[in-house]
Amino acid sequence: MTSRAYCDCHVNIWNDEHVLPLYHTLQARVRHGDIAPKADASTLYQAMSDVDKAIIFSLRYGDSVGIEGDDETTAAAVSRYSDKFVGLAYVDPRREDCLDLLHHAIDDLGLKGAKFGPIYNGVALSDPRMEPVLAFLQNATCH
Amino acid sequence: MLILSQEYKITDKIFFGTDYPFAAVGESIDGLLNINAMLEGTMLPRVSQETMDQILQSNPFEVWWKGDSPI
A54, A81 in Cβ contact below 8 A?
no
What's the CA gap between A52 and A8, in Å, rounded?
8
Nearest CA in chain B to A51: B25
pLDDT class of A1 with cuts at 50, 70, 90: very low
Residue with the larger pLDDT of the pair A33 and A112: A112
In this structure, which amino acid lies at residue A114? A
Window 14-33 of A, Cβ < 8 Å to B: 31
Task: Going residue by residue through chain B, which has 71 residues, state the pLDDT in tens, using 9 for 90 and above.
Answer: 999 999 999 999 999 999 999 899 999 999 999 999 999 999 999 999 999 999 999 999 999 988 788 88
Nearest to A45 by CA among A86, A88, A84: A84
Q: Say whether pLDDT at A44 is over 90.
A: yes
Window 10-69 of B, Cβ < 8 Å to A: 15-22, 24-26, 28-30, 33, 55-61, 64-65, 68-69
What's the CA gap between B55 and B49, in Å, rounded?
10
- Measured CA angle at A77 (ends A55, B53), to 5 deg: 25
Q: What is the pLDDT of residues A60-77, one digit of tens each?
A: 888 888 999 999 999 999
Interface test with chain A among B25, B30, B35, B49, by most A beta carbons within 10 Å: B25
DSSP per residue, chain A = ----EEEEEEEEEB-GGGB-HHHHHHHHHH--S---S-BSHHHHHHHTTTEEEEEEEE-EETTTTSEE--HHHHHHHHHHTTTTEEE-EEE-TTSTTHHHHHHIIIIIS----EEE-HHHH---TTSTTHHHHHHHHHH----
Q: Say whether pLDDT at A35 is over 90.
A: no
